[in-house]
Amino acid sequence: MKILKNKFNILLSFIFILFAQNIYAVESKDPIKLTLHDWTGQLITTNIMAEVLKEAGYNVELVPADYIAQFAGLQTGDLHVAMEMWETTGRDAIDEYTADGRVVNVGTTGMDAIEEWWYPSYMKEKCPGLPNWEALNDCAEAFSTPETSPKGRYLGGPVTWGGYDDERVEALGLDWEVIHAGTDGALFGELESAYQRKAPIMLWVYAPHWAPSKYDGEFVEFPPYTTECYTDPSWGINKNAAYDCGKPRGPIWKVASSMLKDKWPGAYDAVEAFTLDSNEMGNLVAAVDLDGNTVEAVVAEWMANNKDRWGNWIK
Amino acid sequence: MRKTKISNKIIFISLTFLTLLLYWYGKEIANYFDSKWLVKYPKHYSFPFAIYTTTFVKWLINEANFLLFTFNDLTRFFAWIIEQPYKIVLAIFSKGILRGQGQDAIQIIEPLSWISVVGIFFTLALYTKDKFLIILVVLSIVYLAVFDQWQSSMITLSSIIIAVPIGVILGILFGILSYKSKILEKIITPILDLMQTVPVFAYLVPILVMFGFGPVSALIATIIYAMPPMVRTTLLALNNIDPQLKESGLMSGCTERQLMWKVLIPVSKPTLLIGVNQVIMLSLNMVIIASMIGAGGLGYDVLASLRRLDIGGGIESGIAIVVIAIALDRLSQSFANLPTLSKKTQLTFYNKYKKIIFLLSYIISIYILGYFFTFFKFFPKELMINTSLFWEELVKYININYFDNLESFKITLLTFFMLPIKKFFLGIPWPWFIFVLTIIGWYFGKFKLALLCLVMSIFIVTTGLWEKAMITLYLCGSSVIIASIIGIPLGVWAGLNDRANKILTAFIDTLQTLPSFVYLIPVVMLFRVGDFTAMIAVILYALAPAVRYTAHGVRNINSQIIEAALISGCSQRQLLFKIKLPLALPEILLGINQTIMLALSMLVITALVGTRDLGQEVYIGLTKADIGRGLVAGLCVAFISIIADRIIKAGSNKLKNKYGIK
């Protein structure tokens, strides 16, 4: 009796497997988990990817996660895809976690990250020499606060972002003081505050982000970045110090758990094929953060208008 | 006796004098002897605790093996056990019962609608028979619907519903264990100290790696953070039970087990419920941090709105957390105060479960009505309120009109108050600091406390984090001073005046449960990034215990003493300054102690506005996923607060003995 029951079970599961494979063309119907972070651009990229994967028949789940903390999940296979890992802020994490092959770099999203000193346009009246960096010393006073006076005050990103601003100020001989904000929120909080009062501010801004579209302003133009500039002191204006140039502009990467390639090779290819360019992204972000549309609506519209493009990713 | 007192005074004065001398001339002296290590601990002597910790945790996760299963299997198994009840609760309140996974899932049964949840809380409140409470609770739940926080609130509520019982049950179990065995108590107590004082950020990454990404890890972090008070109150309650009661239990033939569960635990129920209350409040404090590791819910909303600089959105979600906290807190408190039911009268089944039967039929009818009218399912969008614009305009108005005034206020406070304190802590050579600390430990707690101070401060030096630890002390110290200056008078006022007490309690409850992230951004907008902003955030958060304990101390003075004072002709003023305040002093000290604890736990969050203290070190550990770095810096924070805690408690006890208060 017992044996019979067992056989029946096996038979049932065989039927089920056959049946399942006939319906679905994809490798596995287990949900692929994509991570959501707390900035709009990333929400849009991830939602587009999720919609595309759904069109291909995959089962998709979106999970809120922290930008760096998610790597622990990617490594163990609890999470599968992270759509935006910025060269400029995520390099260390990428290197550390891809080392043993449990997390893989799936290539660039096609978007390039810009990170640089930025000021609102109304400051140009007080400092006509901008955006050329050589004007920075002449207007240091105009950008100063009581705590830094007579030096200019530059609000840098959190220390964890790196960026070598202290070294840059030193190497270029700038009369500026670097203050580190603790988070992105604090950074743009100060910008909002200064912008409301039309008060002087010089800070770290990055793109794609809503800030450059919401506030009118420009990036400072430093001597352009090269690898030698960061590694070789004799390069550039200051012969005795490295970092006498602007910041590198790096791609935004996609990373995935190695499980993705093993379990859902088709989905892996789709993620690999995904590309957007920075301008396109800027517009999508502005449509959400400035015009007040929902992420879902903006993504749906993009999907409707770009059928050919994403159709190619899942071919 | 007299003699020791005088010699104590001499020692005290000369120590202060020497400290000041070293603070002014420490650098010169160090330079003169050509020994810079006096001022700055040499880097190559620091011990690489961080690297060892990282290696150990990595080994634990990747290789540790108990023959039949690996360490990883074990942690995953725990995660699985916790996940099951969580899934059920989440289904009831938020997701509904689903078939399938991901976007394929089909909802078979819908989750409870907002009206049903209001009904549940209404019924719970009915048991307390407190009209004011019923209104408060119902309004709180309605707030969640009206301000469009429903979905997220239910996710947060589900995790609280799971975290609190697990925390309570484990807490009671550990409490009983340490009651039964003195050895276990000795082991458990320092672990509890660490659980309460190591910043959560420090162990977030290891937890993630062990238990996997998602709500379960968040639940575990919450439980670790919220459980210790439950263990402590259980132990306290059991130790305070009248021994006669225990004996009569034994005489009537109880077994060990019966004695515990039928006699001791029921008797200590009121005290235990205070512990439950603490667990609820602490769990809600964790909502934001939990959302960073995949809990979602209100915490995620707060973080996301801040990222968009949507101050109003952050405030609305933040207040939703406050509202849940206050509703649950008041409910659990009044359950604690409920007289234990006497079971003399035999009730019929219907009478006993009347309310529950009503509630069930209510929920079912709401379900049925929901099929016909969407109002019963979802709160109508047209009736929702959005206050984002109001808050934005408010901050903008203050910013444009008062920024300059605020700025000059800030500069004054910085130059005359904060910077001197900073210089003081950074100026004193570390060997002298440790020496003085050990002497203080000796004075208050003899050999044991002195040893504790010595060992812990030496640990901090050898990690190479001394300077950051001193910045931590400076930030925490200046915040605590200001919090005490504001909080103690408020507390005295609340202690003397019932009406003031009610208003102040509501105010500090809000401050304590409102996630600091909510006001961090507006404060940055008005005061810029830096130590001052950090200090304001710390003060706002740490103010509560200073007020609470002072009020409690002033109110609970023996009425006979007051009468005696009045009869002997004290004026009201004399009564306050000569009798009430000195007698409340031990309690006030405990309040300051709690303020210090809260200030230290807040420091990690102030790293988000750019401080350079231990909090920043912990935060760097978190963002770089550097397990060892975070844990070691977290331990340093924990040691600072343990030292402060022990010294102040010993001081408070000394005072109590002096005034003969039990």
Q: Give the model confidence (pLDDT) of B616-631 as tens digits.
A: 888 888 777 778 888 8
Query: pLDDT at position B6, please?
Result: 67
Q: CB contact, 8 Å: B101 with chain A?
A: yes
Residue B277 CA to residue B279 CA, distance in Å, equals 5
Residue B654 CA to residue A5 CA, distance in Å, equals 76
What DSSP string describes B169-210?
HHHHHHHHHHHH-HHHHHHHHHHHHHHHHS-HHHHHHHHHHH
Interface of B with A in 358-417 (CB under 8 A): 396, 399-400, 403, 407, 411, 414
CA dist list (Å): A32 to A47, A67, A79, B29, B292? 13, 18, 8, 65, 20
Task: Give the DSSP H or E segment for A117.
Answer: strand A103-120
Within 8 A of B213 by CB-CB distance, chain A residues are: 63, 65, 69-70, 72-73, 76, 78-79
Within 8 A of A70 by CB-CB distance, chain B residues are: 213
* Sites in chain A below the pLDDT cut of 50: 1-2, 16-24
Query: pLDDT at position B602, please?
Result: 81
Within 8 A of B304 by CB-CB distance, chain A residues are: 38
Instruction: Mention the CATH class of domain A113-231.
Output: alpha beta
Within 8 A of B204 by CB-CB distance, chain A residues are: 69
Please name which of B444, B645, B589 lies closest in space to residue B581, comparing C-alpha atoms: B589
User: What beta strand segments (E) does A181-216 contain?
Assistant: 202-207
> Encoding tokens for residue A117?
């000193």
What DSSP string describes B313-355?
HHHHHHHHHHHHHHHHHHHHHHHHHSPPPP--SPPPHHHHTHH
Task: Give the DSSP H or E segment for B447.
Answer: helix B430-462
Closest by Cβ to A190, choosing from B308, B524, B620: B524
Is-cis flag, bond preceding B266, omega within 30?
Answer: no
> Encoding tokens for residue B470?
């001193």
CB B263 within 8 Å of CB B250: no
Within 8 A of B303 by CB-CB distance, chain A residues are: 38
Residue predicted with more confidence, A65 or B542: B542
Residue A113 CA to residue A287 CA, distance in Å, equals 19
| A31-40, B189-198, B476-485, B501-510, range with greatest mean pLDDT | B476-485
Residue among A46, A51, A53, A76 with most chain B CBs within 10 A, to mutate: A76
Domain A27-110+251-313 shares a fold with domain A113-231: yes
- Say yes or no for a CB contact (<8 Å) between B625 and A93: yes
| B125-139, B324-338, B469-483, B577-591, range with greatest mean pLDDT | B469-483
Residue of A nearest to B526 (CA): A193
- Say yes or no for a CB contact (<8 Å) between A182 and B607: yes
CA dist list (Å): A129 to A132, A137, A139, A223? 6, 10, 9, 15
How near does any CA of chain A get to the CA of B652, in Å? Answer: 37
Query: pLDDT at position B487, please?
Result: 92
Interface of A with B in 180-209 (CB under 8 A): 180-190, 192-193, 196-197, 199
Query: pLDDT at position A25, please?
Result: 65
| B390-394, B477-481, B496-500, range with greatest mean pLDDT | B477-481
Partnered with residue A176 across adjacent β-strands are: A152
Query: pLDDT at position A21, please?
Result: 42
Residue B644 CA to residue B596 CA, distance in Å, equals 8
CB B639 within 8 Å of CB B460: yes
Partnered with residue A32 across adjacent β-strands are: A60
Residue among A103, A193, A213, A259 with most chain B CBs within 10 A, to mutate: A193
Within 8 A of B296 by CB-CB distance, chain A residues are: 64
Q: CB contact, 8 Å: A290 with chain B?
A: no
Model confidence at B229: pLDDT above 90: no
Residue A55 CA to residue A47 CA, distance in Å, equals 12
Q: CB contact, 8 Å: B528 with chain A?
A: yes
Nearest 10 degrees: Cα torsion B406, B410, B411, B414:
180
Residue A70 CA to residue B364 CA, distance in Å, equals 41
Cα B300 from chain centroid?
Answer: 20
Please name which of B581, B586, B547 lies closest in space to residue B561, comparing C-alpha atoms: B581
For the beta carbon of residue B657, count every other beta carbon within 10 angstroms.
Answer: 11
Residue B292 CA to residue B309 CA, distance in Å, equals 18
How near does any CA of chain B get to the CA of A222, in Å? Answer: 25
- Dmax over CA atoms of chain A, in Å, equals 94
Partnered with residue B109 across adjacent β-strands are: B97
Closest by Cβ to A146, choosing from B399, B411, B609: B411
Residue B527 CA to residue A145 CA, distance in Å, equals 12
Closest by Cβ to A76, choosing from B212, B396, B521: B212
Model confidence at B187: pLDDT above 70: yes
CB B583 within 8 Å of CB B557: yes
For the beta carbon of residue B380, count every other beta carbon within 10 angstroms.
Answer: 9
Architecture of domain A27-110+251-313: 3-Layer(aba) Sandwich (3.40)
> Encoding tokens for residue B37?
């290590």
Residue of B nearest to A70 (CA): B213
Q: Residues A167, A172, A176, A182: is their CA dihedral positive or negative?
A: negative
HEC per residue, B380-400: CHHHCCCCHHHHHHHHHHHHH
Q: Residues B412, B413, B417, B421: is their CA dihedral positive or negative?
A: negative
Q: What DSSP designation does A222 have?
A: P
Query: pLDDT at position A106, please?
Result: 92
Within 8 A of A30 by CB-CB distance, chain B residues are: 101
Please name which of B388, B370, B392 lies closest in space to residue B379, comparing C-alpha atoms: B370
Closest by Cβ to A181, choosing from B208, B291, B610: B610
- Say yes or no for a CB contact (<8 Å) between B213 and A76: yes
Interface of A with B in 56-115 (CB under 8 A): 59-61, 63-73, 75-76, 78-79, 92-93, 96
Is-cis flag, bond preceding A208, omega within 30?
Answer: yes
Scan for tokens 């290819």, then name that residue.
Answer: A269
Within 8 A of A186 by CB-CB distance, chain B residues are: 520-521, 524, 529, 608-610
Query: pLDDT at position B660, please?
Result: 67
Model confidence at B301: pLDDT above 50: yes
Three-state secondary-structure class, residue A157: coil
CB B373 within 8 Å of CB B127: no
Within 8 A of B104 by CB-CB distance, chain A residues are: 29, 59
What is the mean predicted confidence (pLDDT) over B335-353? 64
Within 8 A of B526 by CB-CB distance, chain A residues are: 193
- Say yes or no for a CB contact (<8 Å) between A69 and B529: no
Model confidence at B355: pLDDT above 80: no
Measured at the alpha carbon of residue B483, what is the angle toward residues B478 and B484, in degrees to the nearest 5?
100
Interface of B with A in 193-212 (CB under 8 A): 204-205, 208-209, 212
> What is the model's pTM?
0.80
- Say yes or no for a CB contact (<8 Å) between A188 and B309: yes
What is the mean predicted confidence (pLDDT) over B193-218? 83
Residue A50 CA to residue A58 CA, distance in Å, equals 9
Q: CB contact, 8 Å: A145 with chain B?
A: yes
Least confident stretch, A248-257, B29-38, B226-235, B366-375: B29-38
| Confidence category of residue B1, pLDDT binned at 50, 70, 90 | very low
In chain A, count H helices and then E strands: 14, 9
What is the mean predicted confidence (pLDDT) over B157-166? 91
- Say yes or no for a CB contact (<8 Å) between A160 and B304: no
Q: What DSSP designation does B578 have?
A: I
Closest by Cβ to A66, choosing from B293, B524, B530: B293
Q: CB contact, 8 Å: B56 with chain A?
A: no
* Whole-number average pLDDT of chain B: 83
Model confidence at B3: pLDDT above 60: no
Q: Give the model confidence (pLDDT) of B419-455 as tens digits.
A: 888 888 888 888 888 888 898 888 888 888 999 999 9
Residue A231 CA to residue A243 CA, distance in Å, equals 8
How near does any CA of chain B get to the CA of A257, in Å? Answer: 13
Query: pLDDT at position A22, please?
Result: 39
Within 8 A of A72 by CB-CB distance, chain B residues are: 205, 208-209, 213, 625
Q: What are φ and ψ of residue B141, in 5° steps?
A: -70, -35
How near does any CA of chain A get to the CA of B289, in Å? Answer: 10
- Say yes or no for a CB contact (<8 Å) between B307 and A73: no
Within 8 A of A68 by CB-CB distance, chain B residues are: 622-625
Scan for tokens 């009798």, then name that residue.
Answer: B579
Within 8 A of A187 by CB-CB distance, chain B residues are: 529
Residue of B nearest to A32 (CA): B102
Residue B120 CA to residue B140 CA, distance in Å, equals 13
- Say yes or no for a CB contact (<8 Å) between A185 and B304: no
Within 8 A of A65 by CB-CB distance, chain B residues are: 213, 293-294
Partnered with residue A61 across adjacent β-strands are: A33
Residue predicted with more confidence, B160 or B40: B160
Please name which of A79, A39, A34 lies closest in space to residue A52, comparing C-alpha atoms: A34
Chains A & B: contacts with CB separation below 8 Å: 149
What is the mean predicted confidence (pLDDT) over B51-68? 76
What DSSP string describes B499-529?
HHHHHHHHHHHHHHHS-HHHHHHHHHHHH-S
Q: What DSSP designation does B264 have?
A: I
Please name which of B474, B462, B463, B459 lies closest in space to residue B427, comparing C-alpha atoms: B474
Instruction: Write down the domain spans for chain A.
Output: 27-110+251-313, 113-231
> Encoding tokens for residue B290?
């939990």
Query: pLDDT at position B36, please?
Result: 66
Nearest 10 degrees: Cα torsion B423, B427, B428, B431:
140
Residue predicted with more confidence, A286 or B104: A286
> Encoding tokens for residue B349?
């089944």
Within 8 A of A197 by CB-CB distance, chain B residues are: 399-400, 403
Task: Give the DSSP H or E segment for B556.
Answer: none
How near does any CA of chain A get to the CA of B355, in Å? Answer: 39
Residue A66 CA to residue B218 CA, distance in Å, equals 12
- Say yes or no for a CB contact (<8 Å) between A40 and B292: no
Residue B547 CA to residue B486 CA, distance in Å, equals 8
Scan for tokens 């770009």, then name that residue.
Answer: A306
What is the mean predicted confidence (pLDDT) over B145-167? 89
Q: Which long-range contacts (CB under 8 A, 24 or more apart) does A258-264 make?
A: A258/A77, A258/A101, A258/A102, A258/A103, A258/A104, A259/A77, A259/A80, A260/A32, A260/A80, A260/A81, A260/A104, A261/A104, A263/A27, A263/A28, A263/A30, A264/A26, A264/A27, A264/A28, A264/A32, A264/A58
Interface of A with B in 218-277 (CB under 8 A): none
